């Protein structure tokens, strides 16, 4: 088994020209981001567009989106293990690796957003002074790291069984899988509560926030999974059954339907009752006091999401790869805008004293963000590259 791991590790660094070009591209983006981060570390967060009025921006937006992506795994796990849907069961591993990657990216986004990143140990229990259970952020630290470890454990166990040429024992893995389902729901819920619990921000302080979080997460994560699975199928010997892909597409139709319904419920409540608390939603979709930087983006996101919903709803469309992929891309972009720009920023617009500060990320924030995405892509690429030969059993003489 150890030997197989070593061979896989060795093969991780071998590939064709496209593979090296891809890695080189990622390294260039990461290097640019490190340069921008060095500037930020030196000058302070003044290199970002965040200010006292809008004190969280693009970093926290990306963090929030990625907590959602980390759920992709669980949407695959449920049909795979609970309903023994075999085509999906075989690809669950790639979902779990996506969860690991997404959580690592989440942690990176938190660290780059911190004013004093070296003091991160203050967050730890015993060593530091974790404000548990009062602070939801302390809960989130527990939830995210717990989810990271569950998924690492699942992946390591599965891979070591496969490397030893054995089927994995469900009796060993099942309790962890059962735990991972509510835990995935909890990372979303806790992250939603992080914003939801603030009475100072009426836009977040609405009970619909956590359900909307879950619904949108269960759209974007699986959509990303659809694309990744097709790429893995194309570039490796891993076989992914079409049935698995279509099943995921069908699930997305439900989750996107719920997501749009919840958005509608929120729009109705705010605009029909018409209290001053509708200001952030008004800012997003109509503009407020002539300020409307995000308005075109929000309508684009809505258009994307509705189009994707139609695509995934109609069996003919979701079972044709051209429309399927179009739908998946529309969902990823749509939810990225909706949850990134459209969820975090309006919590601060107008601010608690009524000021409208229009936030738009600086180039430096953009570079650092891109670098974290590239880091994620690098981690995922290497993980897949490492595990594919183990997964297909080709290192054992291809007897799987």
Residue 307 sits in the site that holds other proteins (CB under 8 A): no
Segment interacting with other proteins (CB under 8 A) among 135-143, 153-161, 208-216, 323-331: 135-143
What does the per-residue mask of binding to other proteins show for 309-348, with x meaning CB under 8 A? --------------------------------------xx
Distance CA(209)–CA(107), nearest Å, equals 22
Residue 118 lies near other proteins (rule: CB under 8 A): yes
Among 84, 126, 290, 397, binds other proteins (CB under 8 A): 126
Q: Which stretch binds other proteins (CB under 8 A): 18-26, 40-48, 328-336, 384-392?
A: 40-48
> Does residue 45 bind other proteins (CB under 8 A)?
yes
Count the helix, strand and coil residues of the chain and give each as a percent rounded to the nearest 5: 75, 0, 25
CA atoms within 13 A on the CB side of 71: 28
Distance CA 329, CA 227 (A): 8
Q: How many CB atoms lie within 10 A of CB 230?
A: 16
152 lines the binding site for other proteins (CB under 8 A): no
Among 149-157, 189-197, 221-229, 316-324, the segment contacting other proteins (CB under 8 A): 189-197
Return d(Cα 144, Cα 186) in angstroms, integer.
Answer: 9
Closest C-alpha among 62, 63, 76 to residue 225: 76
| 156 binding other proteins? (CB under 8 A) | no
Q: Cβ(35)–Cβ(178) under 8 Å?
A: no
Question: Interaction with other proteins in 78-117: which residues (CB under 8 A)?
Answer: 110, 113-117
* Size of residue set near other proteins by CB under 8 A: 53
Which position among 9, 24, 38, 129 is part of the footprint of other proteins (CB under 8 A)? 129
**Member of 119, 166, 169, 237 binding other proteins (CB under 8 A):** 119
User: If binding is defined by CB under 8 A, does position 260 make contact with other proteins?
Assistant: no
- Least gap, CB of 61 to other proteins (angstroms): 13
Contact 198, 208 (CB under 8 A): no
117 versus 264: smaller Cβ distance to other proteins: 117
- Does 133 sit near other proteins (CB under 8 A)? no
- Report the candidate in 194, 154, 144, 200 with the shortest Cα–Cα distance to residue 175: 154
Task: Work out how close the CB of 214 gets to other proteins at its nearest, in angstroms, rounded to a whole number.
Answer: 21
Tell me 168's DSSP state: P
Compute the least distance from the CB of residue 141 to other proteins, in Å: 7
- 98 vs 280: CA distance, rounded Å: 33
The Cα 256–Cα 335 span in angstroms is: 10
Close Cβ partners of 259 (under 8 Å, ≥ 6 residues apart) = 212, 215, 216, 219, 305
Task: Give contact residues for other proteins (rule: CB under 8 A).
Answer: 43-46, 48, 50-53, 55-56, 110, 113-123, 126-131, 134-138, 141, 194-195, 197-201, 276, 279, 289, 347-348, 350-355
């Amino acid at each position: 088994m150890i030997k197989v791991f070593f061979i896989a590790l060795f093969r991780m660094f071998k590939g064709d020209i496209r593979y090296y070009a891809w890695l080189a591209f990622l390294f260039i983006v990461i290097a640019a981001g490190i340069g921008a981060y060095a500037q930020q570390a030196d000058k302070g967060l003044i290199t970002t567009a965040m200010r006292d009025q809008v004190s969280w921006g693009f970093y926290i937006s990306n963090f929030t989106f990625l907590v959602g992506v980390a759920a992709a795994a669980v949407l695959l796990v449920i049909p795979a293990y609970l309903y023994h849907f075999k085509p999906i069961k075989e690809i669950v591993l790639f979902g779990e690796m996506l969860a690991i990657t997404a959580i690592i990216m989440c942690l990176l986004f938190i660290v780059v957003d911190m004013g004093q990143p070296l003091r991160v140990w203050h967050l730890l229990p015993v060593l530091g002074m974790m404000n548990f259970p009062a602070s939801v952020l302390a809960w989130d630290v527990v939830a995210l790291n717990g989810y990271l470890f569950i998924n690492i454990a699942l992946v390591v166990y599965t891979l070591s069984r496969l490397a030893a040429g054995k089927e994995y024992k469900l009796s060993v893995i099942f309790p962890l899988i059962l735990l991972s389902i509510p835990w995935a729901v909890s990372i979303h819920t806790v992250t939603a509560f992080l914003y939801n619990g603030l009475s100072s921000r009426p836009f977040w302080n609405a009970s619909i926030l956590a359900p909307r979080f879950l619904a949108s997460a269960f759209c974007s994560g699986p959509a990303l999974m659809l694309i990744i699975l097709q790429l893995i199928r194309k570039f490796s010997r891993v076989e992914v059954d079409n049935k698995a892909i279509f099943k995921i597409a069908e699930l997305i139709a439900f989750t996107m339907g719920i997501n749009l319904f919840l958005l509608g419920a929120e729009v109705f409540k705010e605009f029909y009752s018409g209290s001053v608390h509708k200001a952030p939603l008004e800012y997003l979709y109509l503009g407020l006091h002539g300020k409307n930087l995000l308005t075109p983006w929000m309508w684009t996101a809505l258009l994307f999401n509705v189009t994707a919903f139609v695509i995934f709803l109609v069996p003919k469309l979701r079972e044709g790869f051209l429309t399927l992929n179009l739908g998946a891309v529309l969902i990823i972009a749509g939810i990225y805008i909706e949850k990134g720009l459209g969820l975090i920023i309006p919590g601060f617009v107008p601010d608690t004293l009524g000021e409208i500060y229009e936030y738009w990320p600086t180039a430096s924030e953009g570079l650092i963000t891109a670098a974290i995405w590239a880091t994620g892509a690098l981690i995922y690429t290497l993980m897949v590259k490492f595990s594919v030969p183990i997964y297909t059993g080709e290192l054992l003489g291809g007897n799987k």
